[in-house]
């Protein structure tokens, strides 16, 4: 069976506090974007578990991959046959686009179908939360206002269909823990949900990502990417998550890839 895990962008991101267990709380609107990996899982012909990757190479041990962890997590509760997994990686890592989280969540959905587990959406989100904070979002895979650790969802009215998006990721990897350490949590003056309810033309300068200030100070080249996207005609541009990818939302498609020769560049329609 084959699925196509997609990435997400953050429309605004406010770090609102820090809980006693050390986790930060936040508010953000998470919006799915059709930049996809490819995930195939079949019952293993050899009877042995296998995991293979192609495309962008993820550093580290394959046992740490969220797809592998998803299979092992479900196998604890269900009598699953051995599977053969292939992951074609297209979504860049260390970008704030949630590609790894998407892979893990889509693996849960694919295994649910492959083995007829009849898991409800809530149950799949429960398993996904064990993989990571962003993972539950990708189970329903629709725009939401995320609170808490990013896994408490509230419906939000935002529709960007028909707009074009460009995603630019420089060869910079942002350490999420370090990025959080540079932020002083605060409640935004205007709630993200209220800003999102306004026309997109009104978001610039109001809809903020708290990570941008410290990241731009340490990596001014990322700030320049955002500036170039606005110069090219974006109606709204922002860093996604803790970076390092920056996206621009446009009313019309424009050719700007030549401005980012040393970066990963992707463009599509929302």
Cβ neighbours for 158, distance < 8 A, ≥ 6 positions apart: 11, 29, 31, 143, 196, 197
The token pair at 40 is 């195939």
Q: Which residues of the chain have pLDDT under 70?
A: 256-258
Helix (H) or strand (E) holding 89: strand 83-89
The token pair at 267 is 């463009």
31-61 pLDDT per residue, tens: 999 999 999 999 999 999 999 999 998 888 9
**Going from the N-terminus, what domains does the chain have, and what CATH number goes with each?**
2-155 (3.30.230.10), 164-269 (3.30.70.890)
Cβ neighbours for 197, distance < 8 A, ≥ 6 positions apart: 157, 158
Cβ neighbours for 187, distance < 8 A, ≥ 6 positions apart: 14, 16
Q: What pLDDT sits at residue 134? A: 92
Q: What pLDDT sits at residue 256? A: 66
pTM for this model (two decimals): 0.95
| 8 is an active site residue | yes
Q: What pLDDT sits at residue 173? A: 85
* Rounded distance between C-alpha atoms, residue 85 and residue 54, angstroms: 11
| 134 is an active site residue | yes
User: By three-state DSSP, how is residue 169 classified?
Assistant: strand
Q: 134, 166, 169, 226: which is the annotated catalytic residue?
A: 134
How far CA 130 is from CA of 136, 153, 228, in Å, comes to: 9, 16, 38
């Amino acid at each position: 069976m084959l699925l196509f895990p997609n990435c997400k962008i953050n429309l605004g991101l406010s770090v609102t506090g820090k809980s006693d267990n050390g986790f930060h709380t936040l508010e953000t609107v998470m919006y799915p974007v059709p930049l996809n990996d490819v995930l195939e899982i079949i019952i293993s012909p050899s009877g042995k578990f296998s995991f293979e990757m192609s495309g962008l190479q993820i550093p580290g041990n394959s046992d740490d991959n969220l797809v592998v962890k998803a299979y092992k997590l479900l196998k604890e509760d269900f009598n699953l046959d051995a599977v053969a997994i292939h992951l074609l990686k297209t979504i860049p890592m260390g970008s704030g686009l949630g590609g790894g989280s998407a892979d893990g969540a889509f693996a849960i959905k694919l295994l649910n179908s492959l083995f007829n587990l009849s898991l409800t959406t809530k149950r799949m989100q429960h398993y996904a939360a064990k993989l990571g904070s962003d993972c539950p979002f990708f189970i329903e895979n629709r725009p939401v206002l995320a609170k808490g650790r990013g896994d408490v969802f509230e419906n939000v009215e935002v529709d960007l269909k028909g707009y074009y998006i460009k995603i630019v990721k420089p060869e910079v990897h942002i350490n999420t823990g370090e990025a959080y350490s540079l932020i002083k949590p605060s409640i935004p003056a205007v709630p993200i949900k209220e800003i999102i309810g306004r026309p997109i033309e009104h978001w610039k300068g109001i809809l903020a990502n708290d990570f941008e200030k410290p990241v731009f100070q340490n990596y001014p080249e990322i700030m320049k990417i955002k500036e170039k996207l606005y110069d090219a005609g974006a109606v709204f541009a922002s860093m996604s998550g803790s970076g390092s990818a920056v996206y621009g939302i446009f009313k019309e498609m424009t050719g700007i890839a030549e401005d980012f020769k040393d970066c990963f560049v992707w463009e599509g329609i929302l």
